[in-house]
A and B are shown apart, each in its own frame.
Chain A
């Protein structure tokens, strides 16, 4: 759908935009512009009509202006020279008598992402900060953050920061909140906006005037404020009290978090707050907005983590209703599993049993696992329910029940007898790998209590040739050998056959090796086998490891009301780990995303490239624009610090290389055209301490080598080495992609 036929479309639109008849008719003109925006939305590259669109911005029609500005903000990075033409119009609009027009122009101007725009926007922003219309001030304040982002380097304009701090006292609430956001971004490297006592109290007093977005944001900023005294702390908590009852769940959760963090030394206050938000949270859990309900449930689970009894009396609120979406049901089952206590266990189990026969296999399995979880405390009742479920003889149920049994026997050895009685007959209803493994493990470890265990395993051995999962075969080997130790007479023959098969016919190396290992172990003698295979059959201490008393509220308070409870702690850890590595190299620049052939660097390679700079102590700073003249001067004045030759074979695509280098923040200053011989390129990069690396790449096709010469303006070998390794990796990656 996208990209196809875009050339014709651009041509046609261009013609329409240039047509004087259409230009004269305002409505038709606007319609054509709308079409351009529609194509842009669909992913077509319509940057070709930039010139015509810029012309269209000179109009009195505000809607048309907005459309053109939207277009310009999207394509300005591609056509920086043409975009400069539009700046004139924008500057003029910035002094329009109508505040709407002023605001719009300023906002658009700040959103143009292209080099060199800073010098034009600086003055309008400063004017905007002092504008009498608050609408313009709001835009200007955020404009400061945009300007800083464009700059890229860490230079902070002190005067501007002071001006923003003073604007925190502005009478318009949105300006105040925008100031906080803007300062936070500008001062990111110094730890963000500073919230001292006067600012904190000023914000607290303005809270009620803010809208819900502002309140949530301010609550978040207040987290970093440390009250001086206990008295002040409780004053603040009193002021915040009403926000626990806000109509916006986001604000309620924000306020809760602030309470929890501020009162981290007063556990009773924390508990008290959690009691008071119970109502709002329960309301959110049963609200019609399902997504909010989901988020609330995630947080309920988080609270239950420390206070298992917190929602026990409300357990009925977490019963699933048939028409609820899948994700809510799964969360509710988890919650039910955690809030169970002596009083409600009967009802909760009753309810969960109902879910086990649900049409959705996924949901049914989740319910069975939940029963398994409850079984750690209320073993007898649960084992009975699970055993009854086996009677249904349905594959998706049986397999999960057997898996639950396996985990349960390990944690609660007292139920072994009951489980062993329930097992016979299960093998007919299990087809998947996980279930088979669980069953075989149970038969192997507790086989002496199950009369027909050897014969069930024998059936598995009979069919081992058609078995598709290697893991099942491994499990089978171990189980049979274990059973052989307790019931040698019945197993000897079967074990022999299995070992023969595994060693002689099996194609999977791991299985074959395991078979060989057991064979040789048997040769050593039965005592040795016993020593190695007779490990303990259960470990009840594991179940007690997670003691709620050791999970105080403080250990998750800082994660409350973020994405951590939504994703789960483990998942979040993997996500944020990757993000840490990414910080060194920003996302592929905009230009690449419009390329018709899709991304040049496959996803997995890109990640590799991006993670690399983190390995050394080197951080290259993005967007360092060096002029060619300056480069030449510096290049000539410095000596070569390092020279190296890399092997290079076959085709060569300079664009790909340039793109890849840009990802790790190495800028290409100049390079020869593709195909010219010898091919040369000059690169520059700068790290966060200001050290410059200038590089020459020289490719001579006849000896298939790439010569790299690096010059450095400060002689430091460590950073030089890490820079060279980054460069090597990039070139190596390109080479790999090619081949």
Chain B
């Protein structure tokens, strides 16, 4: 149960405050500002207890969102709710920024009124909310009968995520496989830990109540199918992936997944996240970073970093950024790089090397000479890791979409009439190489 919700800007000014329960006094708003936002030291925990009241906060850019309660609640749930809240707001007005919140504050109050009642989460599906919170409330009295009944059925909905009677002239669907690849590598090039967390996001514009079936190169499924034809097993065995764990949108029939490992569902209208998964084995690491740091005396440092792209030469990686940290007492830096642009950013204590595009199986290198100011600080420089950002047009986990079939028995369109688009994007999560 959530007693109240507050939104602050980075200075601690209250942008939104909504109290749901009597036990949360008005002074709670100030307590959080004073104790957390204005506190000098680092945030020690996302859950703070002030005068027996628990404050759960998340930060989005420089906006603080805090949920307050006096009960012994389920912490994961409260955070999930705050994330959901952020998603809903983002779906309405885009990025969560001070500007946007100030401009939409009426809307936010409306949303807060709707998704929480007496501190209990109610309907929070963006799709459902959008049918009745529109910011054009003036229409309310003059709504047609049909519209009204639509809202009612939406609000009542047996299937909470989809309403009846959706119609599109063109039946179309988009599948995005979005992955973020995380790596922690030792200076010697040994992988300390690596994992891919991925999401399959679907945008569906389909008429009626379509039944969908999604298939991917899941190792368990392929091995099961391959039992009959030994030939296929050996062929596809390489291409299949082992998913460590996966979770699905509410619409997926879990019982079917458990028994036959098939993913079937009636999709919500519009965009939603079909599944979320994680893999740790056989990850294709798109880049390798080879660092070489040499200390020349006490006032000079030589750094050489080589990056190697490790994927098909026909593919192009984009938005590559390598961040090489420099010591605090750096006085000057000379950089030479073969490709892209590199700059020393004194405010961030790092050399930032940017490359717009890079094909697979290539390598590139940067070398830098760092001049240091002599200091009497005995503290050794801790050598933070070199981090990387990039975007590649394939799935580093190796996941492939095998099919997505659509059946709608009542309306007369078949699987062939649906236009389908599939896209793979791999992004860097925390991609660090120690040096």
User: Could you list which residues of chain A lie within 8 angstroms of chain B, going by C-beta atoms?
Assistant: 1, 26, 34, 37-38, 41-43, 60-67, 70, 97-101, 104, 107, 111, 113, 133-135, 138-139, 142, 145-146, 149, 171-174, 177-178, 181, 208-209, 211-213, 216-217, 220, 241-242, 245-250, 253-254, 279-280, 282-284, 286-292, 294-296, 298, 316-317, 319, 321-327, 351, 354, 357-360, 362, 392-394, 561-564, 566-567, 571, 575-576, 578-579, 582, 586-588, 590, 593-594, 599, 603
Chain A residues lying within 8 Å of B135, measured Cβ to Cβ, are 63
Given A41-B105, A319-B184, A321-B430: A327 and B380 interface contact (C-beta under 8 Å): no
Count contacts between A and B, CB distance < 8 Å.
264
Q: Decide if B245 touches A134 in the complex (CB within 8 Å).
A: no
A287 vs B180: C-alpha distance in the bound complex, in angstroms? 10
Q: Decide if A98 touches B143 in the complex (CB within 8 Å).
A: yes
A125 vs B41: C-alpha distance in the bound complex, in angstroms? 49
Chain A residues lying within 8 Å of B155, measured Cβ to Cβ, are 99-100, 133-135
Q: Decide if A66 touches B109 in the complex (CB within 8 Å).
A: yes
Given A253-B76, A326-B43, A582-B52: A135 and B138 interface contact (C-beta under 8 Å): no
A-B CB contact pairs (8 Å), 13 listed = A34-B105, A65-B137, A178-B117, A247-B248, A292-B79, A316-B193, A327-B43, A327-B46, A393-B378, A563-B72, A575-B52, A576-B72, A593-B25
* Interface of B, helix, strand, loop or mixed by DSSP: mixed
Chain B residues lying within 8 Å of A562, measured Cβ to Cβ, are 72-75
Chain A residues lying within 8 Å of B164, measured Cβ to Cβ, are none
Let me know if B58 is at the binding interface, CB within 8 A.
yes
Q: Decide if A563 touches B244 in the complex (CB within 8 Å).
A: no
Q: Decide if A253 touches B247 in the complex (CB within 8 Å).
A: no
Chain A residues lying within 8 Å of B109, measured Cβ to Cβ, are 37, 66-67, 70
Instruction: Say which one of B9-17, B168-176, B360-368 lies at the interface with A.
Output: B9-17
A172 vs B152: C-alpha distance in the bound complex, in angstroms? 12
Nearest CB in chain A to that of B20: its residue? A111
Known: A295-B79, A394-B378. 17 other contacts (CB 8 A): A37-B109, A62-B140, A64-B137, A65-B137, A98-B148, A135-B152, A142-B118, A174-B123, A211-B160, A217-B120, A242-B255, A292-B79, A327-B45, A567-B47, A578-B52, A590-B25, A594-B26
CB distance from B126 to the nearest CB of A (A): 12
Q: Decide if B118 touches A99 in the complex (CB within 8 Å).
A: no
Given A172-B156, A322-B384: A66 and B47 interface contact (C-beta under 8 Å): no
Chain B residues lying within 8 Å of A253, measured Cβ to Cβ, are 74, 76
User: Could you list which residues of chain B lie within 8 angstroms of chain A, going by C-beta atoms?
Assistant: 1, 13-17, 22-27, 29, 42-47, 49, 51-52, 54, 56-58, 70, 72-77, 79-83, 105-106, 109-110, 113, 117-118, 120-125, 132, 135, 137-138, 140-141, 143, 148, 151-152, 155-156, 158, 160, 180, 182, 184, 192-193, 195, 197, 244-250, 254-255, 258, 275-276, 278, 378-380, 382, 384-385, 387, 429-430, 432, 434
Which are the 4 A-B pairs with shortest beta-carbon distances?
A62-B137, A247-B247, A593-B26, A250-B77
Q: Decide if A289 touches B83 in the complex (CB within 8 Å).
A: yes
Chain A residues lying within 8 Å of B122, measured Cβ to Cβ, are 138, 174, 178, 213
Q: Decide if A1 touches B23 in the complex (CB within 8 Å).
A: no
* Interface of A, helix, strand, loop or mixed by DSSP: helix
Q: Decide if B76 touches A249 in the complex (CB within 8 Å).
A: yes
A213 vs B121: C-alpha distance in the bound complex, in angstroms? 6
Chain B residues lying within 8 Å of A599, measured Cβ to Cβ, are 27
CB distance from B199 to the nearest CB of A (A): 10
Q: Decide if A294 touches B138 in the complex (CB within 8 Å).
A: no
CB distance from A259 to the nearest CB of B (A): 15
Chain B residues lying within 8 Å of A292, measured Cβ to Cβ, are 76, 79-80, 83
Nearest CB in chain B to that of A43: its residue? B14
CB distance from A188 to the nearest CB of B (A): 12
Q: Decide if B15 touches A41 in the complex (CB within 8 Å).
A: yes
Q: Decide if B75 touches A133 in the complex (CB within 8 Å).
A: no
- Contact partner, B247, options A104, A246, A295, Cβ 8 Å: A246
Chain A residues lying within 8 Å of B275, measured Cβ to Cβ, are 247
Q: Decide if A326 touches B17 in the complex (CB within 8 Å).
A: no
A61 vs B137: C-alpha distance in the bound complex, in angstroms? 6
CB distance from B322 to the nearest CB of A (A): 14
Q: Decide if B385 touches A322 in the complex (CB within 8 Å).
A: yes
Nearest CB in chain B to that of A77: its residue? B22
Given A323-B430, A326-B42, A587-B22: A37 and B245 interface contact (C-beta under 8 Å): no
Q: Decide if B74 touches A291 in the complex (CB within 8 Å).
A: no
CB distance from B163 to the nearest CB of A (A): 14
Q: Decide if B254 touches A245 in the complex (CB within 8 Å).
A: yes
Chain B residues lying within 8 Å of A42, measured Cβ to Cβ, are 13-14
A107 vs B105: C-alpha distance in the bound complex, in angstroms? 20
Q: Decide if B118 touches A321 in the complex (CB within 8 Å).
A: no
Given A60-B140, A327-B43, A578-B52: A286 and B83 interface contact (C-beta under 8 Å): no
Looking at A213, A217, A296, A603, which has the most chain B CB atoms within 10 Å of its CB? Answer: A213
Given A174-B123, A357-B380: A563 and B195 interface contact (C-beta under 8 Å): no
Q: Decide if A321 touches B125 in the complex (CB within 8 Å).
A: no
Given A41-B105, A393-B378: A286 and B182 interface contact (C-beta under 8 Å): yes
Nearest CB in chain B to that of A134: its residue? B156
Chain B residues lying within 8 Å of A323, measured Cβ to Cβ, are 387, 430, 432
- Contact partner, A563, options B46, B57, B73, B160, Cβ 8 Å: B73
CB distance from B269 to the nearest CB of A (A): 17
CB distance from A603 to the nearest CB of B (A): 7
A283 vs B246: C-alpha distance in the bound complex, in angstroms? 9
Given A61-B138, A70-B109, A292-B80: A100 and B132 interface contact (C-beta under 8 Å): yes
Chain B residues lying within 8 Å of A97, measured Cβ to Cβ, are 148
CB distance from A367 to the nearest CB of B (A): 12
Given A247-B249, A249-B80, A321-B432: A1 and B13 interface contact (C-beta under 8 Å): yes
Q: Decide if A296 touches B192 in the complex (CB within 8 Å).
A: no
Nearest CB in chain B to that of A351: its residue? B192
Chain A residues lying within 8 Å of B82, measured Cβ to Cβ, are 291
A67 vs B110: C-alpha distance in the bound complex, in angstroms? 8
Looking at B23, B120, B387, which has the most chain A CB atoms within 10 Å of its CB? Answer: B120
Given A172-B156, A593-B25: A242 and B258 interface contact (C-beta under 8 Å): yes
Q: Decide if B382 touches A286 in the complex (CB within 8 Å).
A: no
A26 vs B137: C-alpha distance in the bound complex, in angstroms? 12
Q: Decide if B156 touches A70 in the complex (CB within 8 Å).
A: no
CB distance from B244 to the nearest CB of A (A): 6
